[in-house]
Structure formats: structure tokens, C-alpha cells
Amino acid sequence: MPRAYLPILLFLAIAIAFPVVTILAAKLVRPHYPFKQKLEAYECGIEAASDARGRYAVRFYIVAMLFVIFDVETVFLFPWAIQYHVLGLFGLIEMLVFLAILIVGFIWIFKKGALDWV
């Protein structure tokens, strides 16, 4: 029984050793001469005007989350479209209910003003 696990252990050892050996070899070969200009953040050749960690409005995150939610929900349409002939009328009604819930949610979010750009 342990002989059956030998290929897995060999593959695991190679998978762990390869990145470690590669990083160590790159560290030995590369030149390392830090100076002020090299350590600064690169901004298209222009000196950085301010800190890169600016604040974003909460509305940006709300719109991003809504996009992800609606995008993921529409991904569920693909398997239904593939199996449309197998599901028949029941599948059609089920998808219409799903789309109705999706549209009601979209209308509710639109009326709340979450999609207004300020």
C-alpha cells in the first residue's frame, strides 16, 4: 500500500522544491544595489505627489459588490440554457421565477439610489 503513494509524495516533493530552489537561485544571481530612486514608488516617471493609499467612497464598494452579486447570479443562467430541453416547462418556469427575483432586486437597488454615481 505505501508504494502506491510514492508518485504522490515524489510529485509533492518536486512541487515544494521547485519554487524554493528557483527563489534561492534568483537571489544568488541577481544584483542587489538599493538606492533612493530605486526604492521609490514608480508613477510613470513622475515623482509621487501623495500617498498611494487614498480613501475611496463607500459607494464604490457598494457598486462593486452589486456587480459581483448580479454577475454571479447571471452565471446560473448558463447551465439552465445548456439543459433547457431536458428541463422542459418546469425548467422554464423555474428560470422565470429566478429572473423575476433578480429583476425585483435590481429595481429595489435602483430605487434606493445605490447605482447613482456621485
In a domain, 47, yes or no: no
Domain identity same for 101 and 67 = yes
In a domain, 13, yes or no: yes
* Count of structural domains within the chain: 2
What pLDDT digit, counting tens, does each position of 12-36 carry? 999 999 999 999 999 999 888 888 7
Domain identity same for 106 and 69 = yes
Domain identity same for 62 and 105 = yes
Domain identity same for 33 and 67 = no
Alpha-carbon distance of 66 to 76, in angstroms, equals: 16
Alpha-carbon distance of 114 to 59, in angstroms, equals: 7
CB distance 57 to 75 below 8 Å: no
Domain identity same for 31 and 63 = no
Task: List the domain range (segments joined by +) for residue 9.
Answer: 2-39
Confidence of residue 1 (pLDDT cuts 50, 70, 90): low
In a domain, 100, yes or no: yes
In a domain, 118, yes or no: no
Report which of 114, 8, 1 is spatially closest to residue 60, judged by C-alpha positions: 114
What pLDDT digit, counting tens, does each position of 50-92 carry? 666 777 777 788 888 888 888 888 788 888 888 888 888 888 8
- Indicate whether 44 pLDDT > 80: no
The grid coordinates of residue 36 equal 533612493
In a domain, 48, yes or no: no
Domain identity same for 27 and 69 = no
Domain identity same for 75 and 104 = yes
Sign for the CA dihedral angle at 6, 10, 16, 17 comes to: positive
